[in-house]
């Protein structure tokens, strides 16, 4: 009897072993943004890579904080989206604002912007990097932008939703339908729980 239970234990261990093996072999999908190796800084000045955002459903927008035209609208839309996400699901979501103006949007500057706009809760992440990294990321999002003067950028208005493993789920461009984004976030969170 003792022997049998031990055998059972061995079998159990091996199966549990196989299961735990699954996690590391479940590598980042080929089309995931977590394949990008660029280095970023968040609003707290922490250095990070995009794959540090792994594990949560991501709502991503690219903006620059000194923008007076479309970006405030985009930021407002991000806030509305955030407020419409169920509080039961908010811990599974990261709302990410990526700056296209790394020169001006330093981490302290982003921190200030976050505070002024009441976006300093845990679910908000502001990212800034080098111009090359920003360009690469914009290209991954198929977002167009151009510096039109030292203080102004012209850029496309896109809000993207990514699954917790960094795969693009949907993009809303132009007149962004907030409820559609919220619904997508809800579905993505549910699917990955």
Partner 1 sequence: MKKIKYNLCLVLMVMFFASCSKQGKHTKHEDAGANTNINKLKSISTDVKMAYIPGGEYKPFYGTDTSLVTVAPYLIDERAVTNQEFLEFLKENPQWRKSQVKRIYADTSYLGKWPSDLELPANALPDAPICQVSWFAAKAYAQSVGKRLPSLDEWEFVAMADEVSPNARKKPQYSATIISLYMEKERQYKAVMKSKPNYWGIYNLFDLIWEWTDDFNSILTTSDSRNSQYEDKNLFCAAGATSSTDVLNYAAYMRFALRTTLKANYTIANLGFRCAKDTTISKAN
Q: Give the whole-angstrom CA distance, residue 42 versus residue 135.
A: 17
Q: Which of 44, 48, 51, 111 binds partner 1 (CB under 8 A)?
A: 51
Q: Which of 53, 58, 60, 71 binds partner 1 (CB under 8 A)?
A: 71
Residue 47 touching partner 1 (CB under 8 A)? no
Residue 88 touching partner 1 (CB under 8 A)? no
Q: What's the token pair of residue 132?
A: 């090359």
Residues with Cβ within 8 Å of 55's Cβ and at least 6 positions away in sequence, in order, are: 164
Q: Which of 105, 155, 185, 188 binds partner 1 (CB under 8 A)?
A: 155
Residue 69 touching partner 1 (CB under 8 A)? yes
User: Based on CB atoms, which residue is closest to partner 1, 7 or 121?
Assistant: 7
Q: Which of 13, 45, 190, 192 binds partner 1 (CB under 8 A)?
A: 13
User: Based on CB atoms, which residue is closest to partner 1, 23 or 88?
Assistant: 23
Query: Chain-centre distance of CA 61, in angstroms?
Result: 9
Question: How many CA within 13 A on the CB side of residue 55?
Answer: 6
Q: Which of 44, 66, 117, 156 binds partner 1 (CB under 8 A)?
A: 156
Q: Which of 57, 92, 111, 146 binds partner 1 (CB under 8 A)?
A: 146
Residue 125 touching partner 1 (CB under 8 A)? no
Q: How far is CA 129 from CA 46, 95, 103, in A?
A: 12, 17, 9
CB of 163 to partner 1, least distance (A): 13
Question: Angle at Cα 118 formed by Cα 150 and Cα 86, nearest 5°?
Answer: 120
> Rule CB under 8 A: which of 93-122 touch partner 1?
none
Instruction: Find the length of the chain.
Output: 193
SS (H, E, C) 70-111: HHHHHHHHHHHHHHHCCCCCHHHEEEEEEECCCCCCCHHHHH
Q: Which residues bind partner 1 (CB under 8 A)?
A: 2-3, 6-7, 9-10, 13-14, 17, 20-21, 23-25, 27-33, 35-37, 51, 67, 69-71, 135-136, 138-140, 142-146, 148-149, 152-157, 173-175
């Amino acid at each position: 009897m003792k022997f049998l239970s031990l055998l059972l234990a061995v079998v159990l261990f091996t199966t549990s072993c196989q299961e735990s093996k699954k996690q590391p072999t479940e590598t980042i999908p080929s089309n995931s943004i977590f394949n990008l190796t660029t280095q970023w800084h968040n609003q707290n000045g922490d250095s990070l890579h995009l794959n540090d955002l792994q594990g949560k459903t991501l709502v991503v927008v690219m903006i620059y904080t000194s923008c007076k035209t479309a970006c405030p609208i985009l930021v407002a839309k991000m806030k509305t989206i955030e407020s419409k996400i169920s509080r039961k699901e908010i811990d599974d979501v990261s709302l990410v604002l990526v700056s296209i103006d790394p020169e001006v949007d330093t981490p302290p500057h982003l921190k200030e912007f976050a505070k002024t706009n009441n976006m300093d809760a845990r679910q908000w992440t502001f990212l800034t990097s080098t111009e090359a990294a920003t360009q690469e990321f914009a290209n991954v999002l198929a977002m167009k932008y151009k510096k039109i003067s030292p203080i102004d950028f012209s850029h496309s208005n896109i809000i993207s939703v990514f699954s917790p493993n960094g795969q693009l789920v949907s993009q809303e461009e132009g007149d962004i339908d907030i409820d559609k984004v919220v619904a997508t976030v809800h579905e993505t969170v549910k699917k990955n729980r």
